Amino acid sequence: MNTVVTSKEDILKTSRKLIQQQGWPAINIRSVAAACGVSVGSIYNYFDSKAALVCATVESIWGEIFRLPEDRAVFQDTRACIVWMYGRMEYGGRQYPDFFTLHALGFMQEEKSDGKRKMQQTWQHILDGLCSVLKRDAGIRADAFTEQFTAERFADVLFSLMLSALLRQDYDPAAVLEIVRRTLY
């Protein structure tokens, strides 16, 4: 076997390809080592267990799906941001079928607490970003938010709708955009 040392990113890239081609069951230390053309020990240099490999792969998939766009203007307008997010969700659904469903359901189990924590961190990052966009959007009515109905609470509602759309594999943002239009503009 080729024992050429590979990089962590090469291992994660190969893991993502295995998931695309063969699904989640294809991810284990031996199969990833074989696909990378390296020894099992080379994988263990970067990941101390299958769980660590899977967790890092999941994190890298989230990073790929929600990679920042070159045009950052999308984060100045709530509607443009929502359209972008739904587009990225659709991309993720195409590239990694069932990723959102399997990931959410699989990591909600208690024994996978590190994966659950990573998922929650990713979701919180997305939620925080959505809240920031709401606060920056110059088109939102000045009286749209109150002490009881804050940008944070509305971002939470929008994010809940997006998570629901992920699980349903419904990547059409029209209903959410209508809610935003009626509520904020």
pLDDT at 100 over 90: no
What local confidence, expressed as pLDDT, does residue 19 receive?
A: 92
- When pLDDT is cut at 50, 70 and 90, the band that residue 111 belongs to is very low
- For the range 63-70, what are the long-range contacts, defined as Cβ-Cβ under 8 Å and sequence gap of 24 or more? 64/16, 64/92, 64/95, 65/89, 65/91, 65/92, 65/95, 65/96, 66/122, 66/126
Instruction: Identify whether residues 95 and 162 lie together within a single domain.
Output: yes
pLDDT over 60 at 108, yes or no: no
Q: How confident is the model at residue 105 (pLDDT cuts 50, 70, 90)?
A: low
Together in a domain, 40 and 83: no
Residue at token pair 């045009």: 71
Is residue 119 in a domain?
Answer: yes
Task: Say whether both 83 and 123 belong to one domain.
Answer: yes
Provide the 3-class DSSP secondary structure of residue 167: helix
Q: Are residues 97 and 18 in the same domain?
A: no
pLDDT at 1: 45
- pLDDT of 3: 44
* CATH number of 15's domain: 1.10.10.60
* Count of CA atoms in the C-beta half-sphere (13 A) of 71: 7
Instruction: Quote the mean pLDDT of the chain.
Output: 88
Q: What's the mean pLDDT in 80-89?
A: 95
Residue-number span of the structural domain to which 52 is assigned: 8-60
Please tell me whether residues 160 and 109 are part of one structural domain. Answer: yes
Residues 142, 173 within the same domain? yes
- The answer to whether residues 94 and 179 belong to one domain is yes
Say if residue 136 is in the same domain as residue 157. Answer: yes
| pLDDT value of residue 2 | 46
Give pLDDT tens digits for 37-63.
999 999 999 999 998 998 899 889 988
Supply the DSSP string of 26-81, one letter for each residue. Answer: G-SHHHHHHHHTS-HHHHHTT-SSHHHHHHHHHHHHHHHHTPPPS-GGGGG-HHHH
